[in-house]
A and B are shown apart, each in its own frame.
Chain A
Amino acid sequence: MPETADKPPYPETLAALFQAHPESAFDYLEFRLTIARMAARLAAERATEEDRAAMTRAFQALCKAHETHAGDAENQTDAEFHLSIYKACHNAVMAFIMGTLISMQRRNVFYDRKRLYHQEGARQEGAREILMQQHRALYDAIMARDGAAASEAAETHIRYANATLRESVETQRRLQVSIRRRRRADNPDGGPFGDPPASGRRPRKKP
């Protein structure tokens, strides 16, 4: 759908519904797994010279954003690269639906994309490199017109995103547990969750 300044290019009610249910992130990735496999195969088989040029431009932009560590540009060029693959499938319905979902994800409707890139400390660089390698494998297979390899590369990519996101959710959950434990240790009188008493004042310790 055409993007205008005031209105996002997707149905807002649907986006609100997804946003209200964080677990829809995993449904989105599950849905994309099937479509991305199919799209990679179709793009490898059907891309015209024009499509191939467009995918190459999108891939080069992604490489450039990756090399210059341009965080937001990397996210946007990533989305553009996937869109160029959907367009090369010559299936207008698929391109429209996936275009709609990708424009939702561009605005972090399903999950915050930083969760895939910006992992804890030393693992962050590793995650960026792995994603870039996966994009390259996908691009190379499509350019070689190898449908089976393209489909496999797409599957690896989405499964990785799914596992990374799952890990990120688990890390968050564990952090919450640690926070509660810390609070409990600091407030031994604060009830089962270690919360300070409702008055907000700590009970004064006897001298």
Chain B
Amino acid sequence: MPPERELAQQLDVSRPSLRQAISLLESRALVVIRKGGTFIAPILDDTFAAYLLKLMRDDPESTNDYLEFRSGIDGMAAFLAASRSSDIDRQMIAEAFQAMERAHLRAVPDEEAEADTRFHQSLYDAGHNVVMLQIMCGLSGVLRHDVHSNRTKLYTRKGLREILLEQHRAIHDAIMTQDGPAARDAAQSHVSFTRAALTEIDRTDARLEMALRRFAEAE
């Protein structure tokens, strides 16, 4: 956060009132005061992140679990976004989708994966449910690396890229016409498809690896 003097000016309050407000926020664990200044506390603490990361490392099924969980949540997010988004929310979803289309044309997997993440984020925002928003932002924040590498894995596949773009278009269109059930179905089947595709890719990779090993042994 900016230094006290600056913040007091910005908010047009006296410095004693500001100090009182900050100490209230500190007592609620919403800000942390350290030598270098005042910081906004991380929403999810290290214990939570560490536990989740360990879970993902130790359990080979956890990516599958994450996507199964997400198929339910993203369905809800799309439903809520279709039924209660404001004009501004819908504009931001449209912009996120346009960014996906641009990335698709440039065909850079890394950029496509990033635009994909942003699109889903815009759905959580437009759902206006703070519990869903905080939990999903927390999850995707902690799992940033895994999620990004999985998405990149998908976008490097020819054929898959087109399907994924069309699935996102279906979600986008249903939200624009404010059709909740259609948005939920589109989002649910998109995440379920992603889950099946990733499972298939991993299986193929494992088979290829085995074949290569056999080939090397025969040499």
Contacts and interface: CB of A to CB of B under 8 A. Distances in A.
B45 A12 contact: yes
A1 B45 CA distance: 12
Contacts of A35: 72-73
Contact of A18 (B29, B52, B59, B131): B131
A35 B136 CA distance: 13
A55 B95 CA distance: 46
Given A16-B30, A31-B129, A34-B75, A94 B62 contact: no
Given A24-B130, A92-B62, A13 B135 contact: no
A27 B30 contact: no
Interface string B118-136: 0000000000011110110
A100 interface: yes
B52 A96 contact: yes
Residue of A10, A28, A92, A93 ringed by the most chain B CB atoms within 10 A = A93
Given A11-B43, A13-B41, A14-B43, A91 B132 contact: no
Interface residues of A, number: 29
B131 A31 contact: yes
Contacts, number: 89
Contacts of A1: 47-48, 51
A10 B135 CA distance: 12
B76 interface: yes
B68 A94 contact: yes
A91 B69 contact: yes
The size bracket of the interface on B is 20 to 34
Given A11-B44, A12-B45, A13-B42, A27 B131 contact: yes
A187 B215 CA distance: 95
B202 to A, nearest CB: 17
Interface in A5-33: 7, 10-14, 16-21, 24, 27-28, 30-31
6 contacts: A16-B29, A17-B30, A18-B130, A28-B131, A31-B131, A35-B72
Interface of A: 1, 7, 10-14, 16-21, 24, 27-28, 30-31, 34-35, 38, 91-94, 96-97, 100-101
| 8 residue pairs, one from A and one from B, having the closest CB atoms | A34-B76, A93-B65, A27-B131, A91-B65, A27-B129, A31-B131, A38-B72, A13-B41
Given A7-B47, A13-B43, 9 more contacts: A11-B138, A16-B30, A17-B30, A17-B43, A24-B130, A27-B129, A35-B72, A38-B72, A97-B139
Interface of B: 28-30, 41-45, 47-48, 51-52, 55, 59, 61-62, 65-66, 68-69, 72-73, 75-76, 129-132, 134-135, 138-139
